[in-house]
């Protein structure tokens, strides 16, 4: 057996992780739940035309985003076709509504108990959202001929099955969060993305012509560079120095001691939420227009023009409108969502209540103004980063002319974020037990 120091750091960390009973149990629970999820994702609902469904996915970019959050289950229209998207939507709605609705704002200030109540409301809100999303997907598939028309009772049964699949998936994610490693909902989405990568890459190389081999190499290079940039901006933050004055009693006398720390303000505070908002809005006109467009082979009407204008697969120069609008909307939503999150955190008020202050800045309004100025400056970098990642699929397609492999900005952000978060949790578990971790 090789000595401990002779092994690579990552390999040694994995060996250490599996040598600890508690950590090994957490890893095995996570893997076991993911196996259950992948089995359930392949249990289809009745009456689906697989070929028509595959053709529909090639034409509808919104379905591709929904399929991402379902972990690939929507592509088979299984009982988990909705995935965790209704839960994510409910979470976003609750985040936006909390500072607006006074009872929710009061709950948010109650600490752990308040957060648990808000989480419970989010779960209840997920049910009607899942029901509406399930009905909408069934109507779309029936209109496109991918799903046989059903009577009232079978339709209700299918919607109920999809809602149950969503709630079961959310429950599985919570079990991973509590008993496994990492954020459960994110890991489930991550597993669905990774499960489809080998097939997609294999098709790219098998169907690629000799002239496309260079394009495939450039495509993979773009994906690698994008991944490195995502890692850098995901970890990037601005440190704001903070000092605390505390009172210590020694020998009956009171002394004032100063302690220092910092507030890490993330460059990308909004995460991938701006991409979800922007994608939903920029595709919405095309989805509405599809209901009024003339069939292929007939004279196009105004709805056909809207569909072509908002088509993410449109070639240059028409594609510039869609992707340019997408870029600008991502930047706008990054500032909007960051502002909401930052107001909810109320860092200046928290510092004042805890006796902390930023050197050279007076507590209260001046501290709030200073922090607002800093977050606005660093959000420009985060917003432009998100917008650049958002249009990576368009850039990769136009530069390489590779059509088989789809580079997903959502997928890259999720995969990198989940990997970093999971590695940090494993690192913390190993460091607590005095083992070397993954990260230097």
pLDDT in tens, 269-290: 888 888 888 887 888 787 788 7
Please report whether residue 355 resides in a domain. yes
Predicted confidence (pLDDT) per residue in 319-334, tens digit: 788 888 999 999 999 9
In a domain, 230, yes or no: yes
Task: Give the list of residues 6+ apart from residue 199 with CB closer than 8 angstroms, or none.
Answer: none
Please tell me the distance from the alpha carbon of residue 168 to that of residue 183, in angstroms, as a whole number.
16
Residue 280 class from Cβ within 10 Å (0-12 exposed, 13-18 middle, 19+ buried)?
middle
∠ Cα 374 377 382 (to 5°) = 115
Spatial distance between the Cα atoms of 139 and 133, rounded to a whole number of angstroms: 10
Least reliable range by pLDDT among 139-143, 204-208, 242-246: 204-208
The reply to whether 226 and 349 lie within a common domain is yes
421 vs 121, residue with greater confidence: 121
- Residue 36 within any structural domain of the chain: yes
In this predicted structure, the answer to whether residue 90 has a pLDDT above a threshold of 70 is yes
The rounded percent of the chain whose pLDDT value lies above 70 is 82
Q: Do 148 and 262 share a domain, yes or no? A: no
Query: How far is it, in rounded angstroms, from Cα 75 to Cα 42?
Result: 10
Q: Residue 163 falls within a domain, yes or no?
A: yes
* Pair (237, 365) in one structural domain: yes
Tens digit of each residue's pLDDT (9 = 90 or more) over 130-173: 998 888 878 777 777 777 766 788 888 888 988 999 999 899 99
The token pair at 43 is 């249990």
Residue 247 sits in the same domain as residue 221: yes
Q: What is the mean pLDDT of residues 375-402?
A: 87
Average pLDDT of the residues of the chain: 79
Do both 418 and 322 map to the same domain?
no
Give the alpha-carbon dihedral of 408, 414, 420, 422, to 10 degrees: -140
Average pLDDT of the residues in 350-360: 79
Residue 203 lies in a domain: no
CATH code: domain of residue 323: 1.10.3370.10
As a 3-state breakdown, the chain gives helix, strand, coil percent values, each rounded to 5, of: 70, 10, 25
What secondary structure does DSSP assign to 63-127, as a single string? Answer: HHHHHHHTTT-GGGTBTTTTTTHHHHHHHHHHHHHTTTSHHHHHHHTTTHHHHHHHHHHHHHHHH
Question: Which residue carries 């006074």 as its tokens?
Answer: 102
Q: Tell me what pLDDT residue 384 has.
A: 93
pLDDT for the residue 13: 66
**83 CB-near residues (< 8 Å, 6+ apart):** 66, 67, 69, 70, 71, 73, 74, 166, 169, 189, 192
CA distances from 248 to 245, 256, 259 (A): 10, 6, 12
Q: What does each C-alpha distance from 80 to 69, 72, 328 come to in angstroms? A: 10, 9, 33
Per the model's pLDDT, the better-predicted residue between 351 and 437 turns out to be: 351
What was the pLDDT predicted at 2? 45
Together in a domain, 164 and 246: no
- pLDDT at residue 208, rounded to an integer: 53
Dihedral angle sign, alpha carbons of residues 330, 334, 335, 341: positive
Give the residue-averaged pLDDT of 225-247.
83
Please give the backbone phi and psi of residue 267, each rounded to the nearest 5 degrees, phi first. Answer: -65, -40
Whether residue 149 sits in one domain with residue 28: yes
Tell me: pLDDT of 344 over 80.
Answer: no
Return the minimum-mean-pLDDT range out of 58-72, 354-368, 393-407.
58-72
Using CA atoms, how far apart are residues 433 and 1, in angstroms rounded to an integer?
A: 23
* 409 assigned to some structural domain: no
265 plus 351 within the same structural domain:
yes
Q: Which residues, other chains included, contact 24 with Cβ-Cβ below 8 Å and sequence gap of 6+?
A: 17, 18
CA–CA gap between residue 225 and residue 128 (Å, rounded):
41
- Verify that 376 and 440 share a domain, yes or no: no
Q: Between 196 and 217, whose confidence is greater?
A: 217
Position 1 scores a pLDDT of: 43
Classify residue 272: in a domain, yes or no. Answer: yes
**Sign of the dihedral through C-alpha 213, 214, 215, 217:** positive
Q: Which helix (H) or strand (E) holds 191?
A: helix 184-207
> Is residue 408 included in any domain, yes or no?
no
Structure tokens at 104: 């929710």
Note down the domain range covering 151: 1-198+414-440
> Are both 428 and 283 inside the same structural domain?
no
Question: Residue range 362-387: average pLDDT?
Answer: 88
Total structural domains within the chain? 2
299 and 358 together in one domain: yes
Q: Is the pLDDT of residue 249 over 60?
A: no
The reported pTM is 0.77
Indicate if 137 and 229 belong to the same structural domain.
no
Question: Do strands 356-357 and 237-250 pair parallel, antiparallel, or not at all (unpaired)?
Answer: antiparallel
Percentage of the chain with pLDDT > 90?
A: 9
**pLDDT value for 6:** 44
- Dihedrals phi, psi of 225, to nearest 5 degrees: -65, -40
């Amino acid at each position: 057996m090789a000595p401990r120091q002779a092994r690579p750091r990552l390999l040694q960390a994995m060996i250490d992780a599996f040598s600890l009973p508690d950590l090994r149990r957490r890893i095995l629970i996570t893997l076991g739940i993911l196996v259950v999820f992948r089995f359930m994702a392949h249990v289809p609902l009745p009456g689906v035309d697989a070929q028509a469904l595959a053709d529909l996915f090639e034409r509808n970019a919104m379905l591709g985003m929904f399929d991402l959050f379902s972990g690939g289950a929507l592509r088979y229209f299984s009982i988990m076709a909705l995935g965790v998207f209704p839960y994510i939507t409910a979470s976003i709605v609750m985040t936006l509504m909390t500072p607006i609705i006074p009872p929710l704002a009061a709950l948010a200030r109650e600490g752990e108990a308040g957060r648990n109540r808000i989480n419970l409301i989010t779960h209840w809100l997920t049910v009607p959202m899942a029901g509406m999303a399930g009905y909408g997907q069934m109507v779309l598939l029936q209109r496109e001929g991918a799903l046989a028309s059903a009577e009232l009772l079978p339709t209700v049964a299918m919607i109920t099955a999809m809602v149950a699949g969503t709630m079961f998936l959310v429950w599985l994610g919570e079990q991973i969060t509590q008993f496994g490693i990492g954020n459960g909902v994110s890991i489930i989405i991550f597993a669905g993305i990774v499960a489809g990568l080998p097939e997609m890459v294999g098709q790219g190389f098998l169907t690629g012509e000799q002239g496309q081999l260079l394009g495939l190499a450039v495509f993979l290079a773009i994906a690698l560079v994008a991944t490195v940039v995502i890692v850098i901006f995901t970890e990037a933050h601005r440190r704001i120095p903070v000092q605390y004055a505390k009172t210590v009693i020694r020998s009956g006398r009171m002394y004032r001691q100063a302690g220092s720390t910092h507030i890490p303000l993330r460059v990308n505070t909004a995460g991938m939420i701006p991409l979800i908002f922007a994608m939903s809005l920029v595709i919405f006109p095309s989805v509405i227009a599809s209901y009024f467009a003339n069939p292929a082979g007939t004279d196009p009407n105004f709805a056909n023009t809207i569909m072509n204008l908002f088509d993410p697969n449109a070639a240059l120069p028409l594609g510039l409108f869609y992707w340019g609008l997408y870029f600008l909307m991502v930047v706008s939503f990054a500032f909007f969502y960051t502002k909401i999150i930052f107001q909810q955190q109320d860092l200046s008020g928290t510092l004042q209540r805890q006796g902390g202050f930023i050197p050279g800045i007076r507590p209260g309004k001046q501290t709030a103004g200073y922090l607002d100025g800093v977050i606005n400056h660093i959000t420009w970098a985060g917003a432009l980063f998100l917008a650049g990642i958002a249009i990576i699929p368009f850039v990769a397609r136009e530069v390489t002319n590779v059509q088989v492999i789809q580079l997903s900005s959502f997928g890259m952000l999720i995969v990198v974020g989940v990997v970093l978060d999971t590695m940090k949790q494993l690192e913390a578990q190993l460091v607590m037990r005095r083992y070397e971790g993954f990260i230097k």
